[in-house]
Structure 1
Amino acid sequence: MPPAFKRRLDSGRRTHPLVWLAAIICTIIAIAVVIAGIVVFVGYLIIHPRMPVISVTNAHLDLLTNDYAGLLQTQLTIVVVAQNGNAKAHATFSDIKFKLSYQDRAIAVLVAETFFVSKNSTKDLNYVVQSSSIPLTPEQMEEVNNAWKRNEIGFDLKGDARTQWRVGPLGSLKSMCHLNCLLKFHPLNGSYIPSKCNSRSN
């Protein structure tokens, strides 16, 4: 093999120093990302923050009337509690929107501005919901009449709230609270029938 050809062949096999430098930098970044992920995961397990939750703790059926024309009027007082069970982290609740309905008939939408809940604390949201006249179908009118007879009526409360809280060096954690409850009352005296009405988080 001629010497000149051999020199050209050997020089073609060399890797440019910048390629090696780029490979080393990428390796260092990858290792740093893995280590940071492990630190965050271990820190999360150690601190073990509790998810903020939304729940209905009390309510009252202030008014319930229905006439022969099939029109329903109602007023409810609903106490929604935002709970932050973390002892080391404050929480922010935002994008709060709950829909109150009866037999798929919308009554009202419950909203709230963004607010802050201190660590290991709660905040009450007191809603007084008054509906306009709601037209009912004959089947729904019959259901209202039966509710009076058995002294029990239910309203659906569904919606979401966004939560965010900071856990030390781990940064901000976010979740969504989903509420889907059936609020039951005794229409004869308006009293609330206590039931489990807590949000699910994801």
Structure 2
Amino acid sequence: MTRHRTDRDRRTHPLIWCVAIICTLIAIIVIISGVVIFVGYLFFRPRMPTLSITYAHLYPFKYDQAGILYTHLTIVFRAENNNVRAEASFSEFEFELSFHGVKIARLLNHPFDMDKNSTRPVTYSVESDYIPLDPNQMVMVQQSLAQNRAEFRLTGHSRTWWRVGPIRSPKFWINLDCVLQFRIDDGSTTDSSHCIYKVK
């Protein structure tokens, strides 16, 4: 026997309508937000905030015959917002300082905001513990002392974004991979010091 479907059978459940309406509203909000950000970018032409190292100095670089290393450094980062119309923010600031694979310190900082067209120094005084070295690391230190050169590596990242009123850019990662080479006798950096800067 053939069964005829009634209007009641074909009626869509109210829950499905609610889900469809919510999804439509979310899609509209996403589209409008994208258009607002794009128009704001075209109008204000904001630049991405930057992060760099402007100063580094090596203080005592001590090593004894028992293979114990102690050192003390100053490192100064420079956060910069070159936008005359946009404010900026930095967060998730995290870097690691090492010496030939030996971890010296982890550098962290609280999130901070920046005014339009401003710079901010972020200064660290890094004092290591007394670090016991293995035989290979002891050889590296002895070579450094003989050459009057101590080479450290600084790697890490921070997140940043700009904002103009209610318009805010997506968050970007700034990654730094730096080689910091010092003259042991006076603690100054050499011309071999450099950083690889990447934004993603």
TM-score range (shorter-chain normalised) is 0.7 to 0.9
The aligned counterpart of 2:124 is 127
SS of residue matched to 2:66: coil
How far 1:37 moved relative to its partner? 3.7
- Which consecutive unaligned segments of at least 5 residues does structure 2 have? 12-16
Q: How does 1:27-46 map to 2 (within 5 A)?
A: 37-38=34-35, 40-46=37-43
The aligned counterpart of 2:185 is 188
Matches of 1:183 and 1:112 in 2, distance apart?
20
Q: TM-score, normalised by structure 1?
A: 0.77
The answer to whether the Cα contact below 8 Å between 1:167 and 1:173 also exists between their aligned partners in 2 is: no
Identical amino acids, percent of aligned pairs? 44
The aligned counterpart of 1:80 is 77
The aligned counterpart of 1:201 is 199
Matches of 2:53 and 2:122 in 1, distance apart?
9
Instruction: Report the aligned-residue RMSD.
Output: 3.3
Q: TM-score, normalised by structure 2?
A: 0.78
How far 1:40 moved relative to its partner? 3.2
Q: How many residue pairs end up in the alignment?
A: 193
Change in Cα spacing, 1:32 to 1:155, as seen in structure 2 (3 Å) is closer
Moved more, 170-179 or 30-39: 30-39
Change in Cα spacing, 1:186 to 1:41, as seen in structure 2 (3 Å) is same
- Which consecutive unaligned segments of at least 5 residues does structure 1 have? 1-7, 17-21
Larger Rg, first or second structure (1 or 2): 1
How far 1:38 moved relative to its partner? 4.5
The aligned counterpart of 2:46 is 49
Matches of 1:132 and 1:187 in 2, distance apart?
19
SS of residue matched to 1:88: coil
Match of 2:90 among 89, 93, 116: 93
Matches of 1:102 and 1:192 in 2, distance apart?
15
How far 1:66 moved relative to its partner? 0.9
* Higher percent of residues as helix: 1
The answer to whether the Cα contact below 8 Å between 1:155 and 1:184 also exists between their aligned partners in 2 is: yes
Matches of 1:36 and 1:146 in 2, distance apart?
57
